Structure 1
Amino acid sequence: MKVTLSDDARQYLGFFEEETGATATDCLVYEDRLVLLVAAGDMSTAIGPGGRTIRRFEERVGREVDLVENADTPTAFVESALAPAAVRHVTISEQGDRVAYVEVDEADRGVAIGKRGRNIEAARKLARRHHEIDDVQLT
């Protein structure tokens, strides 16, 4: 599936790669934060020692930055998009709409949802854009 990026998103991606040395393939731009999809295996480069690299990037862009590590399979992708929540299992339903049903530890349900639903919404948007999943539901 082809992802269309806004001019702002493309600029943030370029700046992110320049600042961190990590590869990112997608960027969701919100008023107060960015959600970047980092290439598999580049997460440690993006974060840097003790989190210094990502903190420096956040300071320069003046926004909070959330990182999601890319994955090849839809189930692994959804699990990564909801991190750091402890995901027990992901099932993709193919009947009608394509829906990812996610079992999350009860203690991590709030983490998966996020403040005002922002984490689950970002996971839904990224899953739709990269794996054609229509919805992500917590069970």
Structure 2
Amino acid sequence: MPDVTFNTETMQYIALFESTTGAHAKDCLLVEDDSKIVFVVKTGDMGLAIGKNGNNINRVKKQIGRLIEVIEYSEDPKEFIRNLFQPAAVKNVTISTRGDRSIAIVDIATKDKGLAIGKNGRNINKVKLLAQRHHKLDDVVINNQK
């Protein structure tokens, strides 16, 4: 994984998240005009992060006062991309290399395309940024599937 650097604010959010949930946060991303925070947790820590009946994630949400999204990390870029697109139904992920560029081509059911892209492209932009930060993928492209 490439080096990810954090500013003081994101380090404080990570410390709060980890102390509240017991899950290890690999990354923290402030998105959507600071109204939402995305935490990428290490493989296997998703249950810890959410907690029984969502208690842990709800406590973090109350303490921070913003929406919280948790994504499980995977060493496998295909699996990580699937996790990034949740809850959209991902049919297939293909990683292709063209020259010195790595591109993930994601097959998503037509009914979930809007969910995958998000309002004003928020979701796809988040996916592209995190795919670049963690797996050095240059682009993520959505294919329509019926």
Task: Work out whether 1:78 is the aligned partner of 2:81.
Answer: yes
Instruction: Extract unaligned runs of 5+ from structure 2.
Output: none
Q: Is residue 34 of structure 2 the alignment partner of residue 34 of structure 1?
A: no
* Identity within the alignment, %: 42
1:10, CA displacement in angstroms?
A: 1.1
Counterpart amino acid of 1:26? D
CA contact (8 A) 1:92 1:98 kept: yes
Counterpart residue number, 1:45: 48
Report the TM-score when normalising by structure 1. Answer: 0.95
Structure 1: which 5+ residue stretches go unaligned? Answer: none
1:90-129 equivalences in 2 (<5 Å): 90-96=93-99, 97-129=101-133
Query: RMSD over aligned Cα, in angstroms?
Result: 1.0
Any conservation in 2 of the 1:21–1:45 contact (CA below 8 Å)?
yes
TM-superposition CA deviations, 1:43-84 (whole Å, max 9, x none): 011111121211111111011011110001111111111111
When you count strand as a share of all residues, which structure comes out higher? 2
- Partner residue in 2 for 1:56: 59
Please tell me the residue identity of whatever aligns with 1:130: H
Alpha-carbon offset, residue 104 of structure 1 = 0.6
Cα distance in 2 for residues equivalent to 1:56 and 1:111: 26
Where in structure 1 do 4 or more consecutive aligned residues deviate above 4 Å? none
SS of residue paired to 1:81: helix
Tell me how far 1:110 sits from its aligned partner.
1.7
TM-score (norm. length: structure 2): 0.91
Who is 1:2 aligned against? Answer: 3
Deviation at residue 115 of structure 1 after TM alignment:
2.4
In structure 1, the partner of 2:25 is: 24
TM-superposition CA deviations, 1:75-123 (whole Å, max 9, x none): 1111111111110001111103211110011111122112222211111
